A and B are shown apart, each in its own frame.
Chain A
Amino acid sequence: GENVEQHPSTLSVQEGDSAVIKCTYSDSASNYFPWYKQELGKRPQLIIDIRSNVGEKKDQRIAVTLNKTAKHFSLHITETQPEDSAVYFCAAFMDSSYKLIFGSGTRLLVRP
């Protein structure tokens, strides 16, 4: 069935270090992969997305990589800051059903 697995569920890093969150998806026809950041009590906010015609996309300290062959994609945050602390969700758009399926989230804590 349609599934997106996200790891790790929690991640604690020292300020200034890098953080990496990984996701795998089931539908080989998926072609759109967004990442959302959700602060406590707030709405999920889109931070970066990638389509299957590229392997990597960067936006300042945030980058996403995609390996279509292995059906996994990753979020990379460099030079982490305390304000990066939040829950991050990956998602994959399933071409088989035209639905966006979310991972279960990663709680990132950046220690000052």
Chain B
Amino acid sequence: IAGITQAPTSQILAAGRRMTLRCTQDMRHNAMYWYRQDLGLGLRLIHYSNTAGTTGKGEVPDGYSVSRANTDDFPLTLASAVPSQTSVYFCASSRDVGQPQHFGDGTRLSIL
């Protein structure tokens, strides 16, 4: 079934550790996105990629990095995790910029 796959589904991480959240889509969508969702704050854009080989900063990019080496994969890396990065992380994709976005199931990340 076509869609977006995120891994892991959940993770508990010690502060200071490096962590990469994985996101893969098989819909050949050009654009991909990473959001974090915190209680009462809705979805906030961390980073985005309008097409393979390009990335851009969203609303809350500090402490995160992304890469887009190919169309299907868009990993999100926390270089040195801090407790304020405890959140639910959603990856999304759309055929192109400004088109409907489809979300993965999310990764629940706890930084202790």
Binding site for B on A (CB under 8 A): 6, 31-32, 34, 42-46, 49, 89, 93, 98-105
Do B44 and A102 touch (CB < 8 A)?
Answer: yes
Q: Which one of B42, B48, B100, B104 contacts A43 once the chains associate, using CB atoms below 8 Å? A: B104
State which of A32, A45, A101, A103 has its C-beta within 8 Å of the C-beta of B103: A45
A92 to B102, CA, bound (A): 15
Q: Is B97 within 8 A of A98, CB to CB? A: yes
Q: Is the pair B43, A102 in contact by a Cβ cutoff of 8 Å?
A: yes
A100 and B101: CB pair below 8 A? yes
For residue B44, which residues in chain A have a CB less than 8 angstroms away from its CB?
102
| B residues 64-112 touching A (CB-CB < 8 Å) | 90, 97-98, 100-106
Task: Say yes or no for B58: interface residue by CB 8 A criterion.
Answer: yes
What distance in Å separates the Cβ of A38 from its nearest Cβ neighbour in chain B?
Answer: 9
- B13 interface residue (CB < 8 Å to A): no
**Interface residue ranges of B21-64 to A (CB < 8 Å):** 33, 35, 40-45, 48, 50, 58-59
Which residue on chain A has the smallest CB distance to residue B108? A41
Determine the main DSSP class of B at the interface with A: loop
Question: Are A104 and B42 in contact, with the CB atoms below 8 A?
Answer: yes
When the two chains form the complex, which single residue of A43, A93, A98 contacts B106, counting CB atoms closer than 8 Å? Answer: A43
* Contact residues in A for B97 (Cβ distance below 8 Å): 98
Q: Could you list 10 further interchain pairs (A-B, Cβ under 8 angstroms) beyond the known A44-B90, A101-B45, A104-B42?
A: A6-B42, A43-B103, A46-B102, A89-B42, A89-B43, A99-B58, A100-B101, A102-B35, A102-B42, A102-B43
**Cα of A12 to Cα of B58 in the assembled complex, Å:** 33
In the complex with contacts A43-B106, A44-B90, A103-B42 CB distance below 8 A: yes
- A contact residues around B41 at 8 Å (CB): 104
22 pairs of residues in contact across A and B, judged by CB atoms under 8 Å: A6-B42, A31-B98, A34-B101, A44-B43, A46-B100, A46-B101, A49-B100, A89-B42, A93-B98, A98-B97, A99-B48, A99-B58, A99-B59, A100-B33, A100-B101, A101-B45, A101-B59, A102-B43, A103-B42, A104-B41, A104-B42, A105-B40
